[in-house]
Amino acid sequence: MFAEFLQYLFTGITIGATYALIALGFTLIYNASHVINFAQGEFLMIGGMATVSLIGLGFPLPVAMLGAILLAAVMGIALQRFAIAPAKQADPVTLIIITIGASIFIRGIAQLVWGRGYHSMPNFSGNEPVNIGGAVVSTQTFWVLGVAAVLVAALVLFFTRTMIGKAILATSMNKVAARLVGIRTEMVLMLAFLLSAVLGSIAGIIVAPITFTSYDIGIILGLKGFVAASLGGLGSGMGAIVGGLLLGVVEAMTAGYISSDYKDAVAFGMIILVLFFMPRGLMGARVVERV
Amino acid sequence: MLKSLLHNRLSGLLLLAIVIFVLPVFFNNPFHYDMATQIAIYATTVVGLNLLVGFAGQISLGHAGFFGVGAYFSAIMTGVYGWPPVITLLLGAVLVGFLAFVVGRPILRLKGYYLSMATLALGFIIAIIINNEGWLTGGPDGMPVPSLSVFGWELSTFSSYSFLGMTISGSLAWYWLAGVLLLLGVWLAQNLIDSPIGRALRSVHGSEVAASVVGVDTARFKNLVFVISAVYASLMGSLYAHFQGFITPDIAGFMESIILVTMVVLGGMGSTIGVILGAVLLTLLPQLLADFHEYEMMMFGLILMLTMIFMPKGLLPTTQRFIRSRLSKKKGEQA
């Protein structure tokens, strides 16, 4: 009984940590530019798929991962440079369609290069699962949780201790004022997309051994990240982490105790319900609208 | 002449009527009629959606859900329970209108991306239910739909009819039906836009706070237009189901919702004729791209991205502005 619960909890936290990383990617870009990047999920797809194919070419795992992250980083910058920057004055709904167009474009290329099949990636360390309180836990789970924790800690340090991190924060608070004190806000925007792409691709790589990967996993993962980010409150880093973990656990519990067919429906139902009562998510800032 | 045509609303309707009437001259096989019918159905749907997105400025990323409920309600009630199609179609619209009314109030309190999140979630839930309740909906494989019939008179794309001594094919009959409904939909939408309700909606788009300060009951008007656009979608969903004769859960899915919104934005938010153009292009595009086989998806994404980057206001408004600036330049040269 308890072992069962523990099993679902581990599954939920693992997938939740991935959602949290995706949601953090959304948050980074949202804060810097007020754009919701619907192509965020494609960074995960690129991370997983490129790693698998580089391993297939004979590269060792760490090199393959580095290659995949680099590829995603280049894509992130290209997305900002060629798709978002030229459409500066566009409506939010237009920006949504541009990023969706970008995600379809990236998916189309991935399908050309890697085909439509599913690909699997080996665990980073050993296939022998660990037994914790009766729950069977894959070693990859620890990699996911560990890497996610390190990334979050690194982000916190980056934003509080480095000049560049503080510049990004300043830009997200007030773009004009940031420019007045000498921050190059165009660079900040590009950096936000770069960081977001790196985060996404790492999330895609660490979760690939658990979930498999294919050219079209980006859509649903991206949407789940958007749900997690809205759940926590758009723009809040802490909210993204809480939202991601909560979403993952709720999904796993629904799949375990109620119905796996309806786990996504429960997740989407939860976000509607939360927004009914807290229109800016769990930790979103209250904003006064100016007329 | 050209200028007054661009400005006058009624002339837009007239232009559309002429196009619908003349177009069959260029059609030479049933496939053309079927494509045109499909376009008209989608065009009417987005004319309704445009009231919400273009005029009231509220984003819905789940509108295909309403389209899907209408389609599946018609399919199930006429196919499984033998209800008469036209009454079912109307009842489906009432049901969807009620659904939109109930969820609309709390959802429409949300703003910007939170609203898109909530509507996206609503659409997703509908699509998931359709996908999972296979005993009723046939699940992911889809389900057949009987043809549209009134008093035992069946309208099917496979048969032919005699009308005033002429023989017309089922495809042509469907084309006329969809065309007339499109005209009706446009006429209703334009009347709504020019009514006090329409002015209230545009004030909500401009600034919601300012609108409520001058006494516009913003919540009520937003909910009203949400219900109207959902009813448009439901009616067209039912019609689409009868027309196709077979439906799958994809018609209610996220991608379909995105395509509907893209039709609005691509054609030109707030321009009724513009969004019809958007429906034409976005329905034809996959047909044109089909020749590119494996490159299809890539091309589609690229075209979507490029048009939105270079014409963020949509095709028709951008073209109109171009023509207008050309006209005024010419006038300047003459003077």
CB-CB neighbors (< 8 A) of A275 in chain B: 107, 110, 114, 117-118
Q: What is the pLDDT at residue B335?
A: 53
Asked if residue A290 has pLDDT above 60, the reply is no
Q: What is the pLDDT at residue B30?
A: 84
For testing the chain B interface, which of A93, A276, A286 should be mutated: the one with the most B CBs within 10 Å? A93
B263 with B46: CB under 8 angstroms?
yes
pLDDT digits (tens, 9 = 90+) for A111-121: 999 988 888 88
Question: Measured between CB atoms, which of A94, A261, A272 is closest to B121?
Answer: A272
pTM confidence score: 0.91
Report ipTM for this prediction: 0.89
Overall residue count recorded for chain A in this entry: 291
Helix or strand run (H / E) with residue B168: strand B166-169
Helices (H), chain A: 2-33, 40-56, 61-79, 92-114, 139-161, 163-173, 175-180, 185-211, 218-232, 237-253, 263-277
Asked if residue B47 has pLDDT above 80, the reply is yes
CB-CB neighbors (< 8 A) of B209 in chain A: 289, 291
> Quick one: CA torsion of B211, B216, B220, B223, rounded to 10 degrees?
-40
**CA–CA gap between residue A152 and residue A144 (Å, rounded):** 12
Asked if residue B188 has pLDDT above 90, the reply is yes
Task: Give yes or no for A181 touching B (CB within 8 A).
Answer: no
CB-CB neighbors (< 8 A) of A262 in chain B: 128, 132
A287: helix, strand or coil: coil
pLDDT digits (tens, 9 = 90+) for B48-92: 999 999 988 898 999 999 999 999 999 999 999 999 999 999 999
Which chain B residue's Cα is nearest to A107? B298
Asked if residue B6 has pLDDT above 60, the reply is no
Do the Cβ atoms of B124 and A265 come within 8 Å? yes
CB-CB neighbors (< 8 A) of B282 in chain A: none
The stretch A41-69 carries a mean pLDDT of: 95
Cα separations in angstroms, A61 against A110, A122, A141, A147, A195 = 20, 10, 18, 15, 22
Which chain A residue's Cα is nearest to B109? A279
Candidate ranges A273-277, B170-174, B317-321; pick with highest mean pLDDT: A273-277
What is the share, in percent, of chain B residues with pLDDT greater than 90? Answer: 55
pLDDT digits (tens, 9 = 90+) for A138-182: 889 999 999 999 999 999 999 889 998 888 888 888 888 888 998
Asked if residue A71 has pLDDT above 70, the reply is yes
Candidate ranges A11-20, B154-163, B170-179, B201-210; pick with highest mean pLDDT: A11-20
A191 DSSP assignment = H
Q: What is the pLDDT at residue A46?
A: 96
Q: What is the pLDDT at residue A202?
A: 96
Shortest distance between the Cα of B210 and any Cα of chain A, in A, equals 7
Shortest distance between the Cα of A241 and any Cα of chain B, in A, equals 18
Helix or strand run (H / E) with residue B163: strand B160-163
First to last CA, chain B: 19
CB-CB neighbors (< 8 A) of A37 in chain B: none
Asked if residue B154 has pLDDT above 80, the reply is no
